[in-house]
Amino acid sequence: MKGYWVGFCALGALYCSANSTSSNVANETAYHQDIAPLFAQKCMSLCHVVDGIAPFSLATYDDVYSHRDAVNFAVTHELMPPWPPSNDCTTYRDNRSLTASEISMIQDWLKQGAPPGTPTPTTSNTNNSVTTSTGFNKRIAMSESYTPRLSPDDYRCFVLDWNEQTVSYVTGFRALPGSASVVHHILTFVIAAKDAAKYANLDAKDDGPGYSCFGGPGGLPSGTLGSWAPGQGIIHYPEGTGIKVEAGAKIIMQVHYNIGHHDAVMDMTAIELNTAPQVDREGFIIPWTNPLWLSGQMTIPALETAVSHSFNDDPTKYFEPIAKIWPGLWPKGPIKNNTAFRMYSANLHMHLLGTHSTLSILRQDSQVDCLLDIPQWDFHWQGDYFFKDYKVFNPGDRLKITCNWDNSAVNQPFIHNQQQTSHDVNWGEGTTDEMCLGGIYITAH
């Protein structure tokens, strides 16, 4: 199985930075003036803080100094913070990876003996614990706490009430893990009012809060609101856009708990949202995959070390037919067959055997416009990556997804400390099944 997120974070102390390059004296880098702001920006967001998911805090000078060898190792080997996309693909907003100058600054500081510098009101009062945010107009939380039961990974879905009497548009999203030491990632799905009973039944059949789930909520939602993984902060959807949520909807929040390196503790996770009564352009997070793969035509043979499946087509031709079957999942109205639309972000999803995946636009002029390239897939680091500037999908273009897997004996996942046996794998929501799924946030052009 690929390395767990905790393994990344354990080294993650390590690989932290920001954009400041000032120093308190000529030719000297200091912790309070230079390093502290970097760590706050790149390392501490629910990860390297007290009670965070990382095994130690990096919020104070003493914290960082005591882990200075690990910091040096991670900076030298470019291990942290986790940033799966290849920067050769395109330019992203909120890129967490380090620049060469940021790496050099941290290395220089360590070579100088890690001088503390002079504390400032900002750095001396650095928050050393997980905090919530402000400025959102809606907060939805689990109705009761849940303690993870399965080790090392427990995937749990919770049915949340929306409680709005009119249509709303979600323009901003942030997840608030209740117990950040065990919460690894969070996905949110919108369920139409007509489908609410199905998910209530899943909840009722499973003892305790929520129900067990993996890969998805147990059915086809009408949309998604956003996701969270360690290191990801607030998602602001592009100005003037938002995701529509109908009155009477339910929200399914899937929480991935990891207790392989931490004791199980009670969790009470919540999400915060910015909503608006209307927006200029309705946004959609649409899935992209080969429909035939869902019916068993994505075989990954046993013991094969390099298996690849690829698919490309014009997504606009699917919008209206699918929208008639699952309203809200695919756009209808302003985005029709053979029309242009805007693309603002991309994500990719596989399971535990994945090695490499890409999502790209095949332009009509034969050029390839890369949206997302994950060269070293790890199931435990997934997210939405927003482009610095939106891209336009034009008539005649095609959207291509490619996924690669290693189904060899040595690459099999461990479940309850038992390594699985290699076998033929196909599409499915189970732990030992696979997927090849892309997602893009779009609006009409």
Per-residue tokens: 383: 């997210």
Task: Examine the domain organization and report whether 295 and 437 are in the same domain.
Answer: yes
CB 380 within 8 A of CB 5: yes
If one compares 316 and 43, the residue with the highest pLDDT of the two is: 316
Q: Tell which residue, 439, 361, 367, 441, has the closest CA to residue 400.
A: 361
Task: Report yes or no on 425 lying in a domain.
Answer: yes
pLDDT recorded at residue 232: 67
212, 246, 279 - which closes a domain = 279
279, 307, 340 - which closes a domain = 279
Q: What is the mean pLDDT of residues 160-179?
A: 92
Q: The CATH number of the domain where 382 resides is what?
A: 2.60.120.230
Q: What is the mean pLDDT of residues 385-392?
A: 96
pLDDT recorded at residue 53: 62
Task: Report yes or no on 131 lying in a domain.
Answer: no
What is the pLDDT of the chain when averaged over all its residues?
Answer: 85
Per-residue tokens: 65: 């100094």
In whole angstroms, how large is the CA radius of gyration of the chain?
Answer: 22
Per-residue tokens: 258: 């990891």
pLDDT recorded at residue 52: 66
- Residue indicated by tokens 């799905």: 189
The per-residue b/e assignment along 403-434, b for 16 or more CB within 10 angstroms, e otherwise, is: bbbbbeeebbbeeeeeeeebeebebbeeebbb
Q: What is the mean pLDDT of residues 108-118?
A: 89
Task: Examine the domain organization and report whether 274 and 240 are in the same domain.
Answer: yes
Return the DSSP state at 361.
E
Tell me the CB-side half-sphere exposure of residue 316, using CA atoms within 13 A: 22
Residue 210 has pLDDT above 60, yes or no: yes
79, 95, 124 - which closes a domain = 124
Task: Report yes or no on 129 lying in a domain.
Answer: no
Helix H or strand E segment including 204: helix 196-205
pLDDT recorded at residue 122: 60
Residue 418 has pLDDT above 50, yes or no: yes
Residue 46 has pLDDT above 80, yes or no: no
Return the DSSP state at 99.
P
Q: What is the mean pLDDT of residues 386-399?
A: 96
The per-residue b/e assignment along 90-128, b for 16 or more CB within 10 angstroms, e otherwise, is: bebeeebbbeeebbebbeebbeeebbbbeeeeebeebeb
Per-residue tokens: 182: 């065990």
Q: How confident is the model at residue 345 (pLDDT cuts 50, 70, 90)?
A: very high
Burial of 351 (0-12, 13-18, 19+ CB in 10 A): buried
Q: Which amino acid is at 385?
A: Y
Task: Report yes or no on 355 lying in a domain.
Answer: yes
Task: Examine the domain organization and report whether 162 and 66 are in the same domain.
Answer: no
CA torsion 53-148-84-136 (nearest 10°) is -70
Name the least confident of 133-137, 166-170, 383-387: 133-137
pLDDT recorded at residue 24: 46
Task: Examine the domain organization and report whether 254 and 320 are in the same domain.
Answer: no
Residues spanned by the domain of 306: 283-444
Residue 431 has pLDDT above 70, yes or no: yes
Q: The CATH number of the domain where 252 resides is what?
A: 2.60.120.310
pLDDT recorded at residue 279: 97
